[in-house]
Chains A and B, each alone.
Chain A
Amino acid sequence: MTAVRLSARPVPPSLRWLKTGAGFLATLSLTFLGLLLITFVIGRVVPIDPVLAVVGDRAPQEVYDAVKLEMGLNDPLWLQFIHYVGSVLQGDLGMAVSSQRPVIEELGRVFPATLEMATLGILIGVFIGVPAGVVAAANQGRWVDQVIRVIGLAGYAIPAFWLGLVGLALFYAHLHWVGGPGRLDIFMEGLVKPKTGLLLLDSALAGEWGVFRSAVSHIVLPAFILGFFSLAYIARMTRSFMLDQLSQEYIVTARVKGAPERVVIWRHAFRAIRIQLVTVIGLSFAQLLEGSVMIETVFSWPGIGNYLTNALLNADMNAVLGATLVIGAVFIGINRLSDLLYRILDPRARA
């Protein structure tokens, strides 16, 4: 057996990773606990009686009291919170009042619909927005820059629902290039058993190419509209980050060394802004995952934005809190992920 001496030696890399990983998990669970506390408190302070939601407002007092006891609502708050955390960890988010089905099941249906659209949207936003912003900055003041700036401004000024309606009228009603509202043509519904809930993936995995084509034709327009807004934002930010870097001294150094312009832009300036871009893209994606209520409404998209809005209108607290929890968890996840990427991309943050 070899003795391991830890004293005075630098910590071996494997151990350091373990420590980093443990710390990572600890912050992650703490943040999540904080999120649970918030949803719990919200659930207690809103003026909606959870007992009434179950028994209806014409139930006799004895029934009301019995149900209240059964739901544990007479327990002290800290005990209620522990029960709440316990049931959330078991995947129990309660019943949705309006449909009388488990909230977790409904979220499992609506969240993938939003996820699918948001993912396409962010991909469009990143793969068009980032190069556009870089090109604009590299040609500051020239016509390319002007065009890209106008697009950026349009993404700021045009309302989503308007673009959605105009898009539908033009590409669906008039030109018939894309499918209409909903995720699929009516007669395709139910042909593919949901596995991931992502229709494009499920239908491709099942080899149902007709369904796949239909899903593509339905998602293309809303995804591009979401993508347009995120690309406008990402291009705007990329441009300003790039301009900032291009005025730095190390850029002069690169030119003094004889760097071609392409290298100055992409290898030097762009490398430095990747760190900031991670934050912007993460934020943008999180926003899309929250579900764009406007787009989901215009396109009758059964996503989480629509779900949450309906739940709010129906005062369906279990559904509201469940959806809030999912959205909060998404934010936490993306936040942690960009933190991790930050550390990989920025040598100064690694120490």
Chain B
Amino acid sequence: MSLLSVENLRVEFPSHQGPVEVVKGISFDLGRERLGIVGESGSGKSMTGRALMRLIAPPGRVTADRMVFDGQDLQTLPDKAMRRLRGARLSMVMQDPKFSLNPVMTIGHQMSEVLEFHGRQNRKQRRESVLKALRSVRIDDPERVYRQYPHEVSGGMGQRVMIAMMVILEPDLMIADEPTSALDVSVQSQVLDIMDDLIRYKGMGLILISHDLNLVSRYCDRILVMFKGRIVETCEAGQLHQATHPYTQGLLASVPVLNEHRNRLPILDRIQLGSV
């Protein structure tokens, strides 16, 4: 049985011109594997991730023929049961630690909250677990970071904290939504390597959302390509070059390669794509 099964997922928002669908009926299955979702900005990747966590607030509307996580129907699950899943079995790393961490709470407090919400351990044990989780993302002086506020750490450090916070209860599935897009290029692969190691070591499932085809093919087993709210291509990470859809081919062609001599990278032919 698969870990997550989604059929015909749709997300829509009302607008002046009537409801606008930003996710237009996507379906996929996921085991304990690393699935990448790529697509340009605005293609509906984040909305897909948030719909899975049931975090789309009204007036946004989510519908699906099927949305089942480990045998539990995410659409009909009571709020309380959903809260028990979040953080413990299903978690999410967001784009920019500058905004996704609470600015007026210490890092230690924010991390131990996950344990508190799920009724794990007493105060002292929680502290130990948090320090251990900080060490697991290769933070050398966890005691110091534990006491610090988010504004006192760098972006890369902040994102490592975020990852530690989201794996501390060893969830079955973690969604990482552009986890390095807000970081300096120099620390991006370091953060991704740390995350990848943890995911493999703990045997978790991962949905890695990114606009970067290279990055996704490096860290994922399978890739979904999204365009304008639809999945236009599904393939194994190794078989990207066999992609058939013009959008994916366009994306591939616009990735620069070392040692090549092209004066200009090709751009997507949107007029042709508009008809698909």
Listed in ascending order, the chain A residues whose CB lies under 8 Å from chain B are 248-250, 252-260, 263, 268, 271-272, 275, 345-348
A250/B100 in contact, CB under 8 A: yes
Interface pairs A-B: 9 shortest CB-CB: A258-B87, A249-B99, A258-B86, A257-B87, A347-B149, A250-B102, A258-B117, A249-B100, A257-B114
* B-side contacts of A259, CB under 8 Å: 83, 113, 117
Listed in ascending order, the chain B residues whose CB lies under 8 Å from chain A are 50, 53, 55, 83-88, 91-92, 94-96, 99-106, 113-114, 117-118, 149, 151, 162, 165-166
Question: Given that A258-B117, A259-B117, A348-B103 are contacting pairs, would A252 and B94 also be in contact in the complex, using a CB cutoff of 8 Å?
Answer: yes
A348/B94 in contact, CB under 8 A: no
A272/B53 in contact, CB under 8 A: no
* B-side contacts of A256, CB under 8 Å: 53, 55, 86-87, 91-92, 94, 166
Which residue in chain B gives the minimum CB-CB distance to A273? B104
A347/B86 in contact, CB under 8 A: no
Some 22 contacts from A to B, beta carbons below 8 A apart, are A248-B99, A249-B100, A250-B99, A250-B100, A250-B101, A252-B50, A252-B55, A252-B94, A252-B100, A253-B94, A256-B55, A256-B91, A256-B166, A257-B87, A257-B114, A258-B117, A258-B118, A259-B117, A260-B117, A263-B113, A271-B105, A348-B104
A253/B55 in contact, CB under 8 A: no
Q: Closest approach, in angstroms, between the C-beta of A242 and any C-beta of chain B?
A: 14
Most chain A beta carbons < 10 A, residue from B50, B92, B100: B100
Which residue in chain A gives the minimum CB-CB distance to B162? A253
* A-side contacts of B91, CB under 8 Å: 256-257
B103/A272 in contact, CB under 8 A: yes
In the complex, A252→B95 CA distance in Å? 12
* A-side contacts of B104, CB under 8 Å: 271-272, 275, 345-348
In the complex, A268→B53 CA distance in Å? 19
In the complex, A296→B86 CA distance in Å? 55
* B-side contacts of A255, CB under 8 Å: 53, 55, 86
In the complex, A269→B58 CA distance in Å? 19
* B-side contacts of A258, CB under 8 Å: 83-88, 114, 117-118
* B-side contacts of A253, CB under 8 Å: 94, 100-102, 162
* B-side contacts of A254, CB under 8 Å: 102, 113
Which residue in chain A gives the minimum CB-CB distance to B166? A256
Known contacts A249-B100, A257-B86, A258-B86, then 20 further A-B pairs from the complex at CB < 8 Å, ordered by chain A residue: A249-B96, A250-B100, A250-B101, A250-B103, A252-B50, A252-B55, A255-B53, A255-B55, A255-B86, A256-B87, A256-B94, A256-B166, A257-B114, A258-B118, A259-B113, A263-B113, A271-B104, A272-B102, A272-B104, A348-B149
Q: Closest approach, in angstroms, between the C-beta of B16 and any C-beta of chain A?
A: 18
B117/A257 in contact, CB under 8 A: yes
In the complex, A252→B91 CA distance in Å? 11
* A-side contacts of B95, CB under 8 Å: 249
In the complex, A347→B103 CA distance in Å? 8
B113/A257 in contact, CB under 8 A: yes
B92/A263 in contact, CB under 8 A: no
* A-side contacts of B114, CB under 8 Å: 257-258
* A-side contacts of B106, CB under 8 Å: 347
Q: Closest approach, in angstroms, between the C-beta of A341 and any C-beta of chain B?
A: 13
* B-side contacts of A272, CB under 8 Å: 102-104
Q: Closest approach, in angstroms, between the C-beta of A245 and any C-beta of chain B?
A: 10
B94/A268 in contact, CB under 8 A: no
A348/B55 in contact, CB under 8 A: no
In the complex, A283→B6 CA distance in Å? 53
In the complex, A130→B213 CA distance in Å? 48
In the complex, A260→B100 CA distance in Å? 18
* A-side contacts of B53, CB under 8 Å: 255-256
Q: Closest approach, in angstroms, between the C-beta of B70 and any C-beta of chain A?
A: 16
* B-side contacts of A257, CB under 8 Å: 86-87, 91, 113-114, 117, 165
Q: Closest approach, in angstroms, between the C-beta of A267 and any C-beta of chain B?
A: 8
* B-side contacts of A275, CB under 8 Å: 104
Which residue in chain A gives the minimum CB-CB distance to B89? A258
Q: Closest approach, in angstroms, between the C-beta of B177 and any C-beta of chain A?
A: 10
In the complex, A268→B110 CA distance in Å? 10
Q: Which of A260, A268, A345, A347 contacts B151 (CB 8 A)?
A: A347
Which residue in chain A gives the minimum CB-CB distance to B82? A258
Which residue in chain A gives the minimum CB-CB distance to B92? A256
In the complex, A257→B105 CA distance in Å? 15
In the complex, A170→B239 CA distance in Å? 83
Q: Which of A249, A263, A346 contacts B94 (CB 8 A)?
A: A249
In the complex, A347→B101 CA distance in Å? 14
Which residue in chain A gives the minimum CB-CB distance to B50? A252
* A-side contacts of B113, CB under 8 Å: 254, 257, 259, 263
* A-side contacts of B151, CB under 8 Å: 347-348
* A-side contacts of B84, CB under 8 Å: 258
Q: Closest approach, in angstroms, between the C-beta of A163 and any C-beta of chain B?
A: 37
In the complex, A260→B149 CA distance in Å? 23
Which residue in chain B gives the minimum CB-CB distance to A260? B83
Q: Closest approach, in angstroms, between the C-beta of B157 and any C-beta of chain A?
A: 16
Which residue in chain B gives the minimum CB-CB distance to A251? B102
* B-side contacts of A268, CB under 8 Å: 102, 105
In the complex, A272→B102 CA distance in Å? 8
Q: Closest approach, in angstroms, between the C-beta of B171 and any C-beta of chain A?
A: 10
In the complex, A185→B265 CA distance in Å? 89
Q: Closest approach, in angstroms, between the C-beta of B160 and any C-beta of chain A?
A: 15
* B-side contacts of A263, CB under 8 Å: 113, 117
In the complex, A257→B164 CA distance in Å? 12
* A-side contacts of B118, CB under 8 Å: 258
Q: Closest approach, in angstroms, between the C-beta of B224 and any C-beta of chain A?
A: 22
* A-side contacts of B96, CB under 8 Å: 249
* B-side contacts of A250, CB under 8 Å: 99-103
